[in-house]
Amino acid sequence: MRRPRSLIPLFFLLPALILLVPFVIYPVLKTIYLSFFLEGKFVGLANYKHVLLSSDIINLDRFPTKSPPWGSLINNVIFIAIHLPSTIFLGLGLALLLKREEVKGSSLIKSIIFLGMVIPMIVGGLITRFLFEKGAGVVPSILGALGIKSLDITWTAFPQTALFAVILGSIWIWTGFSMLMYSAGLASIPRDYYEAALIDGASRFQIFRNVTWPLLKPITIVVVAMTLLWDLKIFDVVYVATGGGPGGASMVLALQMWDYFARELNYNYAAVVAVLLTTLTLIPAMWLIRRRE
């Protein structure tokens, strides 16, 4: 580090600040401000009370005993509860499997699985819808052929299945990320560690538990945090696969915000949902920041 008191760092930072202040920082503050107003009048926490207690966000009249809609916050939580562990374990399992020397064409398989991360999410959502369409889609047809007639339907058109179609499609899209991260992590573990463990007579499972898994912990933290952020912000996939429907059955917070903003033209409620969503993303974000210290 040099010339600590000079203005040179400011010169390097200035263009970034000129773009960030009007197009990111000011709008964030203004959104917080808007969330306390309604029709131009300061209303304190009334917007928060209204939105958070509305059945759009948490519908306790229907959750968990009756069929959806259960509310967008609950849908986000269900999404995370299924999507996060599925993609982590699938990604880790595939990385471990495809690292094995005996697997032929492992880099081709890796590329195929990673394609979900390369394509635009709006295309991923459209493919999800196609996959779960009765007649034209693979999933209902296979389930129908297996005799499960109740699932030989267009999943995106029914409240009981719409959210799960979106979640399964998102697992297809996102598994490539954790697979890639874990593959990179596994490649960085020195071979001697395994050889030493083998000489000591450790079993495969013991090696995984005591060598591989602890060494992958930094990767796991990043993958979990990034997946949480992706899950919380999910928008494109839901927008095109189900539109949040039917009847709000697959509505998520990011789409709920758009609904208040563009359909109901209620900027203040939209701001409340945005603040709520941002608050939730702070949890994984703070996690990533603290890891640096």
Site for another protein in 108-167 (CB under 8 A): 108-109, 111-113, 115-123, 126-127, 130-131, 133, 135-138, 141
User: Segment contacting another protein (CB under 8 A): 70-78, 81-89, 105-113, 205-213?
Assistant: 105-113
Give the residue, chosen from 53, 81, 103, 148, that forms a contact with another protein under the rule CB under 8 A.
Answer: 103
Cα dist. 83→104, 175, 208, 293 in Å?
Answer: 29, 9, 24, 29
Residues 6+ apart with CB under 8 A from 44: 36
Least CB distance from residue 214 to another protein, whole Å?
17
Give the residue, chosen from 74, 88, 219, 251, that forms a contact with another protein under the rule CB under 8 A.
Answer: 219
Least CB distance from residue 195 to another protein, whole Å?
18
Residues in contact with another protein, counted by CB under 8 A, come to a total of 94
- Peptide bond before residue 140 is cis, with ω within 30 degrees of 0: no
**Distance (Å, rounded) from C-alpha 268 to C-alpha 51?**
10
Q: Whose Cβ is closer to another protein: residue 74's or residue 131's?
A: 131
- What residue has token string 């916050």? 73
* Structural element, H or E, at residue 187: helix 162-187
Least CB distance from residue 288 to another protein, whole Å?
6
Give the residue, chosen from 222, 224, 245, 246, that forms a contact with another protein under the rule CB under 8 A.
Answer: 222
Least CB distance from residue 131 to another protein, whole Å?
6
Among 211, 234, 231, 233, which residue's Cα sits nearest to residue 223?
231
Residues in region 4-43 near another protein by CB under 8 A: 4, 6, 8-13, 15-16, 19-20, 22-24, 26-28, 30-31, 34
Distance, first Cα to last Cα, the chain: 19
Give the residue, chosen from 92, 174, 257, 259, that forms a contact with another protein under the rule CB under 8 A.
Answer: 257
Give the residue, chosen from 44, 85, 214, 218, that forms a contact with another protein under the rule CB under 8 A.
Answer: 218
Three-class SS of residue 42? Answer: strand
Least CB distance from residue 4 to another protein, whole Å?
5
Written as one letter, the residue type at 155 is W
DSSP collapsed to 3 states, 224-274: HHHHHHHHHHCCHHHHHHCCCCCCCCCCCHHHHHHHHHHHCCCHHHHHHHH
- What residue has token string 């593959």? 183
Q: Whose Cβ is closer to another protein: residue 22's or residue 61's?
A: 22
User: Segment contacting another protein (CB under 8 A): 43-51, 55-63, 77-85, 170-178?
Assistant: 170-178
Does position 97 interact with another protein (CB under 8 A)? The reply is yes
